[in-house]
């Protein structure tokens, strides 16, 4: 039996508001791109809070940030919890930050309650979860778990031509002196708290979701090349309009992905037209595809058609299609799911089982250690939006279940 650590709801909320000031947008949201100066500032704020409490702080070759409280047997692999501090370009205050701050609040509460755990407990902030600046996302967790080689992750380039390698070097050089740990050290178990980013918990009036799994996703980058030419003088027979071809591709893909049950998620989130002049025929279009489904068979069947559909609608243009990310559906570890359920029952917190439509770092951790996730409701199910909001009491309930589960797993 563990004793229940005291979670400070007001302190947890205050830290969310302090974190949200870094990269704050006028509309109430946050813009903290991965490995930007704002991201570095959010890391140093977390490191300062940790050092003030006497916890050790370390990083690794992809810039993941670890805060550690030793265990009674400090040679054992830690139980770990966290999420990410980078945001979407017009993101909210809770996506990612909640998982890091919940883990940190749990660590502080466990510490202040004087609870000794057999294993160390660590808080982690994974680098570039969002994937909006450098593709694909979940860079930190996929480098840590070996899902993607570090060199490939560091070779990614943002829209201004800055490589992830250079952006990371700038962040790490501002943290000179911080301890460096290797990628992929052993982890006993991993837990991640997150806002649901959908409406189910709020609709059900339940404060905590036990996440059973994550749907699969595939990302593609499509480049369509035509010829720039004069808009007023070039007859149709001589046009190679990259925009006309790209629009036909997107429409055909949208038709392919239409399913009666509304389970397929298909998004073209970036669409760039060059040269972007009203009276020049577009010579190049670049667009991205984010396609997700809970079943591996559908993920394969529809995803495998993307290439052929794009080629069939290229007309006189050339097209190249690159699959930039492929993640199979994941089921979380049953023992971790049971531990979270048991913790919620002991605390008297009502829960609902649900699966995740969004991708999370926990997906990659599940490949190397038993992992699980807890969701809390967010207002209107809205996320990846400046209006993202959550109730302090729900954040605290999720954090209570997290702390109780962490203690149980760290003593197992
Ligand atoms: C990130 O938030 C994702 O689910 O892609
Ligand atoms: Mn997130
Ligand atoms: Mn997100
Ligand atoms: Mn995500």
d(CA 363, CA 36): 25
CA of 297 relative to ligand 2 center, distance in Å? 26
Question: Chain-wide mean pLDDT for the chain?
Answer: 97
Sort 221 into a burial class: Cβ within 10 Å, 0-12 / 13-18 / 19+: middle
Provide CATH code, domain 9-215+329-410: 3.40.630.10
Q: At what angle do helices 9-20 and 392-410 cross, to 10 degrees?
A: 110
| 3 band by pLDDT with thresholds 50, 70 and 90 | low
CA of 2 relative to ligand 4 center, distance in Å? 31
* Residue 189 near ligand 1, beta carbon < 6 Å: no
Kindly state the DSSP code that residue 254 receives in the 8-state scheme.
Answer: H
Domain assignments of the chain as residue spans, ordered by start: 9-215+329-410, 216-327
List the beta bridge partners of residue 36: none
Count the helix, strand and coil residues of the chain and give each as a percent rounded to the nearest 5. Answer: 35, 25, 40
The answer to whether residues 91 and 130 touch, using CB atoms and an 8 Å cutoff, is yes
- Strands 330-331, 208-214: parallel, antiparallel or unpaired by DSSP? antiparallel
Sort 273 into a burial class: Cβ within 10 Å, 0-12 / 13-18 / 19+: middle
d(CA 168, CA 196): 29
Kindly state the DSSP code that residue 22 receives in the 8-state scheme.
Answer: T
Render pLDDT for 28-69 as a digit per residue (tens, 0 to 9). Answer: 999 999 999 999 999 999 999 999 999 999 999 999 999 999
For residue 172, give the nearest of 76, 259, 60 by alpha carbon. Answer: 60
Length of the chain: 412
Tell the residue nearest (CA) to atom 5 of ligand 1.
359
Q: DSSP string covering 266-292, please?
A: EE---EEEES--TTB---EEEEEEEEE
Residue 344 has what pLDDT? 97
φ/ψ of residue 218, rounded to 5: -135, 130
N- to C-terminal Cα separation, the chain: 11
* Residue 359 near ligand 1, beta carbon < 6 Å: yes
The answer to whether residues 9 and 395 touch, using CB atoms and an 8 Å cutoff, is yes
Render pLDDT for 124-138 as a digit per residue (tens, 0 to 9). Answer: 999 999 999 999 999
Residue 5 has what pLDDT? 73
Residue 199 CB coordination number (10 Å): 14
State which of 139, 288, 358 you would mutate to test the pocket of ligand 1, scoring each by most atoms of that ligand within 8 A of its C-beta.
Answer: 358
Provide CATH code, domain 216-327: 3.30.70.360
The answer to whether residues 12 and 106 touch, using CB atoms and an 8 Å cutoff, is no
| Secondary structure element (H or E) that encloses residue 43, with its range | helix 37-52
Measured CA to CA in angstroms, residue 195 lies from 199, 348, 408 at distances of 10, 20, 23
State which of 126, 130, 220, 363 you would mutate to test the pocket of ligand 1, scoring each by most atoms of that ligand within 8 A of its C-beta.
Answer: 130
Tokens representing 245 are: 């071809």
* Atom of ligand 1 at shortest range from CA of 383: 2
CA of 198 relative to ligand 3 center, distance in Å? 12
Residue 232 CB coordination number (10 Å): 6
* Residue 86 near ligand 1, beta carbon < 6 Å: no
φ/ψ of residue 394, rounded to 5: -70, -40
For residue 404, give the nearest of 109, 56, 70 by alpha carbon. Answer: 109
CA of 100 relative to ligand 3 center, distance in Å? 13
* Residue 105 near ligand 1, beta carbon < 6 Å: no
State which of 87, 135, 137 you would mutate to test the pocket of ligand 1, scoring each by most atoms of that ligand within 8 A of its C-beta.
Answer: 137
Ion ligand 3 nearby residues (CB, 5 A): 95
CA of 2 relative to ligand 1 center, distance in Å? 34
Render pLDDT for 235-277 as a digit per residue (tens, 0 to 9). Answer: 999 999 999 999 999 999 999 999 999 999 999 999 999 999 9
Tell the residue nearest (CA) to atom 2 of ligand 1.
130
Residues 6+ apart with CB under 8 A from 72: 116, 117, 118
* Residue 130 near ligand 1, beta carbon < 6 Å: yes
Render pLDDT for 137-190 as a digit per residue (tens, 0 to 9). Answer: 999 999 999 999 999 999 999 999 999 999 999 999 999 899 999 999 999 999
pTM for the whole structure: 0.94
3-state DSSP assignment of residue 164: helix
């Amino acid at each position: 039996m563990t004793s229940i650590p005291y979670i400070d709801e007001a302190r947890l909320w205050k830290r969310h508001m302090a974190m949200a000031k870094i990269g704050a947008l006028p509309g109430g949201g946050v813009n903290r791109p991965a490995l930007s100066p704002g991201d570095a500032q959010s890391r140093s704020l977390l490191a300062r809070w940790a050092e003030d409490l006497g916890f050790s702080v370390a990083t690794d070759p992809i810039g993941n940030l670890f805060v550690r409280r030793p265990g009674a047997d400090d040679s054992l692999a830690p139980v770990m919890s966290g999420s990410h501090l980078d945001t979407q370009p017009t993101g909210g205050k809770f996506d990612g930050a909640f998982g890091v701050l919940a883990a940190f609040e749990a660590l502080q509460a466990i510490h202040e309650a004087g609870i000794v755990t057999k294993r160390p407990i660590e808080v982690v902030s994974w680098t570039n979860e969002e994937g909006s600046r450098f593709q694909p996302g979940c860079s930190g967790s996929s480098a840590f778990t070996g899902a993607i080689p570090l060199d490939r992750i560091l070779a990614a380039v943002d829209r201004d031509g800055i490589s992830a390698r250079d952006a990371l070097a700038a962040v790490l050089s501002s943290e000179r002196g911080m301890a460096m740990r290797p990628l992929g050290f052993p982890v006993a178990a991993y837990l991640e708290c997150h806002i649901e980013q959908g409406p189910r918990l709020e609709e059900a009036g339940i404060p905590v979701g036990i996440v059973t799994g994550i749907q699969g996703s595939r990302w593609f980058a499509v480049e369509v090349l035509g010829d720039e030419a004069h808009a007023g003088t070039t007859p149709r027979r001589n046009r190679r309009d990259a925009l006309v071809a790209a629009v036909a591709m997107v429409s055909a893909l949208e038709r392919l992905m239409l399913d009666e049950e509304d389970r397929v998620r298909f998004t073209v989130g970036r669409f760039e037209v060059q040269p972007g002049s009203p009276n020049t025929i577009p010579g190049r279009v670049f667009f991205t595809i984010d396609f997700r489904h809970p079943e591996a068979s559908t993920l394969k069947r529809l995803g495998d058609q993307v290439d052929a559909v794009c080629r069939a609608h290229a007309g006189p243009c050339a097209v190249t299609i690159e699959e930039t990310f492929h993640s199979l559906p994941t089921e979380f570890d049953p023992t971790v799911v049971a531990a979270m359920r048991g913790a919620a029952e002991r605390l008297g917190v009502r829960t609902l089982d649900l699966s995740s439509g969004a991708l999370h770092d926990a997906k990659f951790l599940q490949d190397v250690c038993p992992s699980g996730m807890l969701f809390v409701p967010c207002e209107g199910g809205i996320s990846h939006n400046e209006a993202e909001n959550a109730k302090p009491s729900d954040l605290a309930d999720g954090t209570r279940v997290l702390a109780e589960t962490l203690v149980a797993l760290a003593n197992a």
